[in-house]
Copies of this chain bind each other. A is one copy, B any other.
Amino acid sequence: MYTIGLLADLAARTLVKGDWELSPRGIHFIVEASGCGEVITDVSKLQDILVEAVKQANAQVWSVSFNLFPPNGVSGVVVISESHLSVHTWQEENYMALDIYTCGDKSEPFKAVEYVLKKVDAKRSHITEISRGLDDDDHVFYHSFITWEEILKKNGSQN
């Protein structure tokens, strides 16, 4: 998965690197986080983490919506300028699905990814970075992607 995802990204980048410049409208990180701590069951704390993550990404909060789903799952979304952050958690699996999607040259979305993974005490992550809204000066938009995995704690996935 890692190798093929990487090849796909390299192929896409090669295709667009001619006389024109690669200029995505947004960067979108899709993250599966494993071995997360109890904090993923806490609506208030998760909301605080995502709002702080927006600052880490050098973006600004427009609106926030977090809900608890029985028994202990949390769904939350933070809308920022022309993009968003979201988190959906499964307590019984210690699993969190995280999306961090930002626009603009000044944003630093991967800082937000690292911040959230650290704060929820994730043990492993599987990440795809998607360059959204690429075009070859023809207004026909597409995306490219690269995928990788990270082991964040030595005790791996055994919790």
> What is A's interface to B at a CB cutoff of 8 Å?
1, 4-5, 7-8, 11-12, 15, 25-26, 28, 30, 32-35, 62-63, 65, 67, 69, 73, 75-77, 79-84, 86, 88, 90, 93-95, 97, 99, 101, 103, 124, 126, 128, 130, 132-135, 138-145, 147, 149, 156-157, 159
Q: Which of B81, B130, B132, B138 contacts A69 (CB 8 A)?
A: B81
**Neighbour of A65 across the interface among B8, B12, B79, CB < 8 A:** B79
Judge whether A128 and B145 touch: CB under 8 Å. Answer: yes
> Can you spell out 10 A-B residue pairs with CB atoms less than 8 angstroms apart?
A1-B12, A26-B97, A32-B141, A35-B139, A62-B65, A62-B75, A77-B86, A84-B88, A86-B86, A90-B133
